[in-house]
């Protein structure tokens, strides 16, 4: 399998095996016109298996979304075929318009234009709660 | 502090200060009768309420201020499709302080981002009702002399009952509080309250269905109403509403200095025959609610007397 090396672009590395398509969807990568390679089930010393996404264009990546889905991911920025920056993610303390609150009693269910804001309340268990109603987020609530 | 959204917005020092001012108001009401002269409170009640709305209005009038507002969803521009945040932003130009009740959780918080005047959450759905908690704390302090070392029984709807969640939050911060959480399985305290407050603060608690079993332990028995408006399913409400009814005979094994509390309104969960028992405190809570709201209005308007 040949995947050309990137001149200017982004490599999203250390994706938990099986999560690549989910990340592709949530980062809306189908809107990117440049070539994108999704490599699944690579060998990983750290995790056994991992997925990788290579994007041959420098685009803005929503690190909040990435950090929420998987804080162990690494984002590598490539310029002129050289690695110029390696971003290690963390669970974001606050998520704005990343997750949608699904509580029908929450004000966000009726006020159409207000931001959906969640804050990290338990880092160990990776629990986020809506700032308005305190409902717990579900990974599937992502907008 | 700019707004009051939740009891956790207040630290113990601020709560103690509010209680101190409320006690001073009770002792010296004349001293405060013109404290808010020229100020207006807007009482925005998008949901029916007797006690809380009139308590806020009476509190502001007793401070020499004026009151504007509406008392139902139908009485507001919400019927025309106006958003809550637009309504509150508008009212912010007419009033110095806003007390707001809304059936949706988090509505006052969303509104607070659109106005410069202080907003008091006067109840947001089943989520939070901090001024009820302040009334409860003032009552407990006046009945027990302090807020430490209390064994507190909370009984009834512990799932949707917002006074319960706020009270759990507030008393958990005082020394040696122990809770007895008395409810049917379907109306137990939500997991997030247990995780974020009880487990996090290391507060001792027991969950039980049997009120009688834990009665001898209690310094405070806090009864609540099973709230019809919080159920999506009428059949569930009917099945659960009469689970606990406090009658004089059920107090046979209670302490002599027990304080029986209830945020009111009650339906039938405390028999009127209990009203004559000297341990009944629920109408004292109503009166204390007015005094603590007076103290809160003064604090948020930054008025010292």
Rg for chain B (alpha carbons), in Å? 19
Q: Which of the two residues, B73 and A86, has the higher pLDDT score? A: A86
Owning domain of residue B273: 130-286
Cα angle B38, B296, B153 (rounded to 5 degrees) comes to: 150
Question: Do residues B136 and B106 share a domain?
Answer: no
Q: Which of the two residues, B72 and B97, has the higher pLDDT score? A: B97
Question: Do residues B268 and B137 share a domain?
Answer: yes
The count of domains in chain A is 2
**pLDDT of B283 above 70:** yes
Question: Do residues B135 and B278 share a domain?
Answer: yes
Question: Do residues A83 and A55 share a domain?
Answer: yes
Owning domain of residue A103: 94-141
B106–A107 C-beta distance less than 8 A: yes
- Active-site residue flag, B142: no
Question: Do residues B77 and B13 share a domain?
Answer: yes
Residue B159 to residue B180: CA distance in whole angstroms = 14
Q: Is the ipTM of this complex over 0.85?
A: no
Per the document, the length of chain B is 305
| Beta strand extents in B18-105 (DSSP E only) | 40-45, 66-70, 97-102
Residue B294 to residue B186: CA distance in whole angstroms = 37
Question: Do residues B280 and B141 share a domain?
Answer: yes
Mutation target to probe the A interface, by most A beta carbons within 10 A, among B82, B102, B105, B108 is B105
**pLDDT of B41 above 60:** yes
B214-241 per-position pLDDT tens digit: 999 999 999 998 877 666 688 877 877 7
Question: Do residues A108 and A126 share a domain?
Answer: yes
Residue A125 to residue A136: CA distance in whole angstroms = 12
Mutation target to probe the B interface, by most B beta carbons within 10 A, among A101, A102, A103, A105 is A105
Question: Do residues A131 and A98 share a domain?
Answer: yes
Question: Do residues B282 and B228 share a domain?
Answer: yes
Question: Do residues B181 and B222 share a domain?
Answer: yes
Question: Do residues B112 and B248 share a domain?
Answer: no
- Active-site residue flag, B129: yes
Task: Report the pLDDT value the prediction gives residue B27, as an integer from 0 to 100.
Answer: 97
Question: Do residues A68 and A23 share a domain?
Answer: yes
Question: Which strands sit side by side in the sheet containing A94-96, from one edge to the other?
Answer: A94-96, A117-122, A127-130
Instruction: Please say which residue of A88, A104, A126 terminates a domain.
Output: A88
Question: Do residues B182 and B203 share a domain?
Answer: yes
- On whether residue A3 sits in a domain, the answer given is no
Q: Residue B117 contacts by C-beta under 8 Å, 6 or more apart in sequence? A: B92, B95, B96, B97, B98
The count of domains in chain B is 2
Residue A100 to residue B83: CA distance in whole angstroms = 19
Chain A residues within 8 Å of chain B (Cβ atoms) = 103, 105-114, 121-122, 127, 129-134, 136
- On whether residue A4 sits in a domain, the answer given is no
B91-112 per-position pLDDT tens digit: 999 999 999 999 999 999 999 9
Mean pLDDT by 10 residues, chain A (143 residues): 76 92 90 92 87 93 89 93 92 91 93 91 88 83 58
A105–B105 C-beta distance less than 8 A: yes
Q: Which CATH number does the domain housing residue B211 bear? A: 3.40.50.1370
């Amino acid at each position: 399998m040949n995947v050309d090396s990137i001149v200017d672009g982004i490599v999203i590395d250390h994706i938990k095996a099986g999560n690549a398509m989910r990340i592709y969807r949530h980062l809306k990568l189908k809107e990117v016109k440049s070539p994108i390679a999704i490599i699944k089930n690579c060998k990983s010393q750290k995790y056994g298996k991992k997925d990788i996404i290579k994007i041959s264009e420098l685009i803005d990546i929503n690190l909040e979304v990435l950090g929420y889905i998987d804080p162990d991911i690494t984002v590598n920025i490539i310029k002129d075929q050289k690695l110029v920056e390696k971003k290690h993610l963390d669970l974001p303390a606050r998520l704005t318009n990343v997750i949608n609150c699904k509580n029908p009693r929450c004000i966000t269910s009726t006020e159409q234009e207000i931001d959906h804001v969640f804050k990290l309340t338990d880092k160990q268990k990776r629990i986020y709660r809506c700032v308005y109603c305190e409902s717990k987020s579900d990974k599937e609530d992502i907008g | 502090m700019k707004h009051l959204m939740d009891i956790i917005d207040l630290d113990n020092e601020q709560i103690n200060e509010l209680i101190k001012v409320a006690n001073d108001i009770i002792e010296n009401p004349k001293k405060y009768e013109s404290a808010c002269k020229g100020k207006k409170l807007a009482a925005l009640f998008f949901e029916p309420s007797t006690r809380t709305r009139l308590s806020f209005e009476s509190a502001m009038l007793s401070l020499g201020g004026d009151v504007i507002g509406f008392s139902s969803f139908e009485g507001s521009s919400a019927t025309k499709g106006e958003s809550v945040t637009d309504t509150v932003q508008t009212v912010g130009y007419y009033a110095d302080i806003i007390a707001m009740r809304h059936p949706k959780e988090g509505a006052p918080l969303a509104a607070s981002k659109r106005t410069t005047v202080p907003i008091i959450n006067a109840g947001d759905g089943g989520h939070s009702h901090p001024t009820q908690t302040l009334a409860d704390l003032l009552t407990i302090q006046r009945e027990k002399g302090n807020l430490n070392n209390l064994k507190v029984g909370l009984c009834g709807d512990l799932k949707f009952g917002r006074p319960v969640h706020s009270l759990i939050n507030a008393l958990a911060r005082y020394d040696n509080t122990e809770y007895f959480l008395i409810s049917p399985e379907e109306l137990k305290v939500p997991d997030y309250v247990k995780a974020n407050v009880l487990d996090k603060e290391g507060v001792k608690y027991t969950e039980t269905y049997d009120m009688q079993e834990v009665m001898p332990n209690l310094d405070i028995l806090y009864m609540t109403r099973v709230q019809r408006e919080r159920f999506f399913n009428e059949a569930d409400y009917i099945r659960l509403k009469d689970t606990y009814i406090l009658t004089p005979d059920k107090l046979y094994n209670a302490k002599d200095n027990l304080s029986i509390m209830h945020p009111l309104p009650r339906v039938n969960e405390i028999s009127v025959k209990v009203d004559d028992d000297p341990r009944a405190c629920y109408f004292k809570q109503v009166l204390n609610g007015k005094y603590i709201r007076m103290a809160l209005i003064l604090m948020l308007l930054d008025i010292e007397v």
